[in-house]
């Protein structure tokens, strides 16, 4: 189908047409798109125009281009959340109508690093309870979590049994987690974590590093959460000032 009758830049028309075709089921999730030659011919555009459109679609996370193999449609994220809205992983999974679960890998007391001591300052830090676990949605692994909590804040046996650390912290301290300072880092294949999350070799992860604070500005939880990028998407509302 030719799209030359539209007066906008051709690559923008190509982007919208491919998105429409994906939404209509012409191209299915994880399915390979036609070759560049076939696709440019059917759309009535040059291969250079098509490549620019595919480049932008890849940046948007709509497709993945594999060198020498082809272009594939990415699955749509199951979980979507505004990054400005602080919610637990448990809460995000529940809001999507799925059942949250946890697979514990380890829970131990460790000596904090200098960086961790700085992050928890002015909390009088001696040792940290470090917990590593996999969060599941309907029994499928979707997030790998590394959590660090000051020793004595909550019993470590309670950490092992909890799905939501937010709830356990609030139960034992009587204080509500009010906000978190978050760094987001997209990363590629992780040698240890990606296989645990059943990721494909070219599948990306989203790493959220978060220090959680109570409403009284007390640091209580330091997390490094690795989200499957094909399952989770995060967005932010930005207002003009």
Residues 15 and 100: their CA atoms lie apart, in Å, by 35
Check: CB of residue 89 under 8 Å from CB of residue 147: no
pLDDT score at 7: 44
| Average pLDDT of the segment spanning 41-49 | 91
The band of 34, judged by pLDDT with boundaries at 50, 70 and 90, is very high
| Residue 70, strand partner residues | 66
3-class state of residue 90 by DSSP: helix
Domains, the chain: 10-73 (1.10.10.10), 79-235 (3.40.1410.10)
Distance between CA atoms of residues 42 and 39, nearest Å? 5
Does residue 3 register a pLDDT over 60?
Answer: no
Between 202 and 199, whose confidence is greater? 199
pLDDT digits (tens, 9 = 90+) for 103-143: 989 888 999 999 999 999 888 888 999 999 999 988 999 99
CA distance linking residue 214 with residue 91, whole number of Å: 18
Q: How far apart are CA 32 and CA 15, in angstroms?
A: 16
**pLDDT tens digits for range 206-227:** 899 999 999 899 999 999 999 9
Rounded CA-CA distance 187/189 in Å is 7
pLDDT value of position 122: 84
How does the average pLDDT of the chain come out, rounded? 84
Lowest mean pLDDT among 5-19, 31-45, 46-60: 5-19
pLDDT greater than 90 at residue 194: yes
Contact 225, 166 (CB under 8 A): no
Report which secondary-structure segment, H or E, holds 63: strand 63-66
Half-sphere exposure of 16 (CA within 13 A, CB side): 9
| Interval 123-134: pLDDT, tens | 888 899 999 999
Q: How far apart are CA 212 and CA 194, in angstroms?
A: 25
């Amino acid at each position: 189908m030719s799209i030359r009758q539209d007066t906008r830049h051709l690559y923008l028309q190509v982007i919208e047409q491919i998105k429409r075709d994906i939404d209509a089921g012409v191209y299915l999730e994880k399915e390979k798109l036609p070759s560049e030659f076939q696709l440019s011919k059917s759309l009535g555009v040059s291969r250079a125009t098509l490549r620019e459109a595919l480049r932008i679609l890849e940046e948007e996370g709509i497709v993945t281009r594999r060198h020498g193999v082809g272009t594939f449609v990415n699955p749509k994220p199951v979980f979507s959340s505004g990054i400005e809205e602080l919610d637990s992983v448990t809460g995000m999974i529940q809001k999507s109508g799925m059942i949250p679960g946890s697979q514990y890998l380890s829970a131990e007391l460790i000596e904090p690093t200098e960086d961790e001591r700085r992050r928890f300052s002015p909390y009088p830090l001696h040792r940290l309870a470090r917990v590593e676990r996999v969060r599941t949605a309907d029994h499928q692994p979707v997030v790998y979590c590394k959590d660090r909590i000051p020793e004595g804040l909550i019993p470590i046996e309670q950490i092992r049994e909890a799905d939501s650390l937010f709830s356990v912290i609030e139960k034992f301290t009587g204080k509500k987690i009010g906000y978190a300072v978050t760094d987001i880092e997209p990363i590629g294949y992780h040698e240890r974590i990606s296989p645990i999350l059943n990721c494909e070799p070219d599948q990306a992860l989203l790493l959220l590093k978060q220090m959680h604070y109570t409403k009284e500005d007390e640091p209580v939880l330091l997390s490094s959460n690795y989200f499957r990028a094909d399952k989770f998407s995060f967005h932010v509302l930005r207002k003009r000032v």
